[in-house]
């Protein structure tokens, strides 16, 4: 143990993980994932797919989830800075509908573990960001759901820099709020 620092929040299962970084004159080295270390901090997940995206400032991706094939996700930023968010959609959870957010960047090297049963999304704060994540299930086309980023019932406090024009995919402009998710 000791290779990972773990921060938890009031939403059970959500974790912010900071790996130990070994800097030297050449740069640095760190382990971003090591199964035994993650098992020690309570994340015993088999990841089956890695994804990477690049986005410019003001892009909001999400809030996305898989309906029938939910995924655990381990996310991090390798270039730039984002505000990463998850929303608890686990039926019967005492924190259903609550959100948690964290700044992830290439500088702080934090990782964010988002368990199954959560919607997930992020806002790019820097001019450009590269975002990578591991998933515990494969992407299933046609199984994706989403929530509006600005649903007042959820109330996410996005740190949108003044003067930033928000950029969305077409599908992300059409998601409903938490009440429409509950009524499905």
- pLDDT-derived band at 160 (thresholds 50, 70, 90) equals very high
pLDDT tens for each residue of 113-141: 999 999 999 999 999 999 999 999 999 98
What value does the mean pLDDT take over residues 2-6?
Answer: 87
Instruction: Considering the candidates 28, 33, 64, 181, report the single residue annotated as catalytic.
Output: 64
C-alpha to C-alpha distance for 157 and 166, rounded to whole angstroms: 14
pLDDT (0 to 100) of residue 1: 44
Let me know if 120 is a catalytic residue: no
- pLDDT-derived band at 92 (thresholds 50, 70, 90) equals very high
CATH T-level fold of 48-107+116-182:
Jelly Rolls (2.60.120)
pTM confidence score: 0.94
- The strand ranges marked E within the chain are 4-8, 15-19, 22-24, 27-29, 49-56, 60-66, 73-79, 81-88, 99-105, 111-114, 118-124, 128-135, 144-146
pLDDT (0 to 100) of residue 88: 98
Q: Which residues pair with 61 in a beta bridge?
A: 122
Q: For tokens 């994932």, name the residue.
A: 33
Let me know if 64 is a catalytic residue: yes
- Taking 90 as the threshold, does the pLDDT of residue 181 lie above it? no
pLDDT (0 to 100) of residue 3: 87
Instruction: Considering the candidates 120, 133, 149, 181, report the single residue annotated as catalytic.
Output: 133
What value does the mean pLDDT take over residues 162-183?
Answer: 91
In the predicted model, what is the mean pLDDT of the chain? 95
pLDDT tens for each residue of 31-69: 999 999 999 999 999 999 999 999 999 999 999 999 999
C-alpha to C-alpha distance for 31 and 19, rounded to whole angstroms: 7
pLDDT over 70, % of the chain: 98
């Amino acid at each position: 143990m000791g290779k990972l620092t773990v921060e938890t929040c009031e939403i059970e299962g959500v974790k912010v993980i900071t790996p130990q970084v070994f800097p030297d004159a050449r740069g640095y080295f760190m382990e971003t994932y090591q199964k035994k270390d993650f098992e020690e901090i309570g994340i015993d997940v088999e990841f089956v797919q890695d994804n990477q995206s690049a986005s410019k400032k003001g892009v909001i991706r999400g809030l996305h989830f898989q309906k029938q094939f939910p995924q655990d996700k381990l996310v991090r930023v390798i270039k730039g800075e984002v505000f990463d968010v998850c929303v608890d959609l686990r039926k019967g959870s005492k924190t259903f509908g609550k959100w948690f957010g964290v700044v992830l960047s290439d500088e702080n090297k934090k990782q964010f573990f988002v368990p199954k049963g959560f919607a997930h999304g992020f806002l790019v704060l820097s001019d450009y960001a590269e975002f990578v994540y591991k998933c515990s299930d494969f992407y299933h086309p046609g199984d994706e759901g989403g929530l509006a980023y600005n649903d007042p019932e959820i109330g996410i406090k996005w740190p949108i820099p003044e003067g930033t024009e928000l950029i969305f995919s077409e599908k992300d402009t059409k998601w409903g709020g938490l009440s429409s998710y509950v009524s499905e």
